[in-house]
Each structure stands twice: as structure tokens, then as C-alpha cells.
Structure 1
Amino acid sequence: MGTLVTLHLPPGSPLAREPWVITFGGLDDPEDWEPVVCGPYERDHALALARAMVADDDLMAVVEPMLPLDGVAAIRRAVEAARAPAGDDIGTGVPGEYPGVPPEPAEVRAGWRRIAGRLTA
């Protein structure tokens, strides 16, 4: 069994609506393969896919939001906000409230269409 690492978001967090990516890597250090970054996914899809992968394999999956920032000024604001002192909202493990059944490919593609719609609106 592997490890899933993600942010624990408060209810109603706007980050939950952002696209999410999964980075898969080996648990053993050093591994002789490059990490695999997948996405974007809707948050529930990313968590379910990551959970399914780490359930059967010695992998680490990091599930995190992808911020669609449209320029240097927006990126600078995000970096400044990240540097500001904040509470610790990072958690590890595979909490039970995350979806357990990975989505079918058609569901993932439907999620991509929803993400594209939000990004282009």
C-alpha cells in the first residue's frame, strides 16, 4: 500500500473548484524513474484515482490544486499569499471521506469539459 498526500480543505473552500493534478512517484528513495504528473481533474476524481493507485502499489500520490493564473502579476500575488504566515492545512494519509471508486474514463472526460468551461468563462 502506498501513500496519498493532499490538502485538507475547509468546507466551501474555493480551491475545491480548481483543477487538480496528481503526481505519482516511488516511495523508495531514490527511485529510478521520473515522477508521473496527471491531470487536470476535478478534485473528487483526482482523489479517487490517486487512492485507487496507492491501494495496490508502493507509490506516493500527491494530489494538489492547479491554479490557472493568467500572467506574471497573478503568479506574484499567489506567491506572496503563499509566503504569508498561515495555519497548517496540509494532511497526509488516505482519509475515509475521499471517494473510493475511481471514475470511469467517460466521467473524467466530462470533468475535463467542466474544467474547460470554468477556465474559459
Structure 2
Amino acid sequence: MGALVTLELPDDSPARDLPWIVTFGPLDEEEEWEPVVCGPYERPHALALAESVVADEDLMAVVEPLLPHVTVEEIRGEIAAARIVAEDEQAEAADAAEFGDYDDDIDVAGHDDHAVVEPTPPRARKRSAPAWSA
């Protein structure tokens, strides 16, 4: 059995009326082959096709709308946004490689978010004579 990934949309979302595509790819990272893109379809048809295919095979299906970019500026904007996301992911991966991934080192099993922490009493100070008296 495979996996299906799609957007959760409100019922009145205008994206529901867009054409949708399905991209099938390997579910296992060890498998390497070019994803297969199918469509465009209406959203319910795309979801039904994707569900049918991944039900029988270990594949990932991504169901997403086609965004109709009609100007060169819109297309360049999407390319720039994709590049920024890729650069951010590369920077995060480089930081994790250099500094380590510490998310797994946090012990939250014994952590209580509602624990009451008592303040420590202030340290006693030695009294000294004021600097102005001599």
C-alpha cells in the first residue's frame, strides 16, 4: 500500500476548480526512477485515480493543482520562490551536518510543562560600611 499526498482545501476554495495533476513516484528512497506525471484532471477524478494506483503498489502519489501562470513575471516569481526554498533546505542540511541534529537529544519523557518551579532564596549579602563613611 502506498501513500497519497494532497492539499486540504476548504469547500469554497477556488483551487478546487483548477485542473489537477497526479505525480507518481517511488515510496522507498532506495528506489530511483523518474516520477510519472499524469493529468490534468478534475480534482475528484485525480484523487480517485491516485487512490486506486497506490492501493495496490508501494508508490507515492502527489495530487496538486496546476497553477495557471500567464505572465513571464509570474513564472519567474515561482522559480525564484522554488530556488529560495531549495537554498533554505540546503542551508538547514548543511547546519545539521556541521552542528549535528539535536532534536533527538531532548529528553521530553520526564518533562512536565505544568511543573511548579520554586524560586531559590536570595543569597545573603555581607554588610559593609558605606563608601562615604570613613
TM-score, with length taken from structure 1: 0.61
Q: Percent identity?
A: 64
**Runs of 5+ consecutive residues of structure 1 not aligned to the other structure:** 84-121
Q: Which has the larger radius of gyration?
A: 2
**Higher alpha-carbon deviation: 28-37 or 60-69:** 28-37
Aligned residue for 1:14? 14
Q: Which moved more, 1:1-10 or 1:63-72?
A: 63-72
Corresponding residue of 1:2? 2
The alignment of Structure 1 onto Structure 2 pairs a total of residues equal to: 83
Superposition misfits of 4+ residues, deviation over 4 angstroms: 76-83
More contact order relative to length (CA 8 Å, sep ≥ 6): 1
Aligned partner of 2:37 in structure 1 is 37
Q: CA RMSD in A?
A: 2.3
Distance of 1:52 and 1:74 partners within structure 2 = 34
Q: From the two aligned structures, give the one with the greater strand fraction.
A: 1
Question: What does 1:35-114 align with in structure 2 at a 5 Å threshold?
Answer: 35-75=35-75
For 2:7 and 2:18, locate their aligned partners in 1 and report how far apart those are by CA, in whole Å. Answer: 13
Question: What TM-score do the two structures reach when normalised by structure 2?
Answer: 0.55
| Structure 2 residue 23 is matched with structure 1 residue 23 | yes
Gaps of at least 5 residues in structure 2 are 85-134
